[in-house]
Amino acid sequence: MRKDKGFTLIELLVVISIIALLMAVLMPSLQRARQQARAVLCQSNLRQWGLYFSLYTDDNGGRFHRGWNASPDRDYSWVVVLKPYHKDEPDLMFCPVATKLRGQGGIDPFAAWWDPAFDYWRGSYGINIWVTDPLSGAEGGMPPAWYWRTRDVKMPHLIPLFAEDYHWDTRPHHTDQPPEYEGQVDGWSTNAMKMLCLNRHHRNVNTLFVDFSVRKVGLKELWRLKWNRNYDLSAPLPQWPPWMKGFADP
């Protein structure tokens, strides 16, 4: 009788080598697919926030909220005013690639923010504070005329409303400079572009605009969006640091 023969050691090694080769070929594709899926989920989160901002402005004559967090129970911050609309959905506060808090394992530019003054204020998105509607005078010492205040403005598709951010709100201006190195953090009101220039989605950042549309924005393109009424779109672009020089021009 003829006995069945199993694999020889050489045949087994050949099979293992082929599997390893296939894995090496497929892993980058799988990684890209995973990154793309996370970027799509991030955009889905922002579309949901767009719905909530739309509902809020519908209920308030087209105007945005006051935008200053003097107290957690006052009608100032988006974290507070949108709570009745989003019904406390914690996952919506975070971009899928930036869920860990800074200081608790989160590494910039993939770290989430946390406001120690109000423990439940945490996330990885933030508002362009120039869209808000201060009651009187200038919020934070800025000229009142610079604020958009309402969704009923010209070219709303160029005005960022809500985006991936190192802080829950940010005040960019055309004189701001880019991060000197990837992941550099600065103040939310001084050189605020450093809080937004986040390489989370392959040289892009996802952004919700005042017309409630969502799209990815190239990091250099951030300087060509109309952040406030005084923002000069014709101002010279900054000198790009080495880590950004190869990125697509706006």
The DSSP call for residue 79 is H
Residues of the chain with pLDDT under 50: 1, 69-70, 72-73
Return the H-helix or E-strand segment holding 11.
Answer: helix 9-59
Contact 162, 127 (CB under 8 A): yes
- Alpha-carbon distances, residue 104 vs 99, 130, 167, 201 (angstroms): 10, 30, 16, 22
**Dist CA 41 CA 62 (whole Å):** 28
Three-state DSSP at 141 gives helix
Contact 111, 99 (CB under 8 A): no
**Residue 1: predicted pLDDT:** 47
Strands (E), the chain: 100-101, 111-114, 122-123, 125-128, 160-164, 169-170, 204-209, 214-218
Residues 6+ apart with CB under 8 A from 51: 85, 212
**Residue 160: predicted pLDDT:** 98
Three-state DSSP at 156 gives helix
**Residue 75: predicted pLDDT:** 58
Question: pTM here?
Answer: 0.84
Return the H-helix or E-strand segment holding 125.
Answer: strand 125-128
Edge-to-edge strand order for the sheet containing 111-114? 100-101, 111-114, 122-123
Tokens 């958009």 correspond to 148
Count of CA atoms in the C-beta half-sphere (13 A) of 73: 0
Contact 125, 96 (CB under 8 A): no
Of 35, 45, 46, give the one whose Cα is nearest residue 199. 35
**Residue 173: predicted pLDDT:** 94
**Residue 218: predicted pLDDT:** 97
Tens of pLDDT, residue by residue over 180-202, are 999 888 766 678 999 999 999 99
Tens of pLDDT, residue by residue over 31-82, are 666 767 888 999 999 999 999 999 999 999 999 998 764 454 455 789 888 9
Of 45, 127, 25, give the one whose Cα is nearest residue 92. 45
Neighbours of 136 (CB within 10 A): 6
> What does residue 32 show for φ and ψ, rounded to 5 degrees?
-65, -40
**Residue 86: predicted pLDDT:** 84
**Dist CA 228 CA 97 (whole Å):** 28
> What does residue 162 show for φ and ψ, rounded to 5 degrees?
-155, 135
Residue type, 95: C
**Domain coordinates in residue numbering, the chain:** 9-244
Contact 42, 97 (CB under 8 A): yes
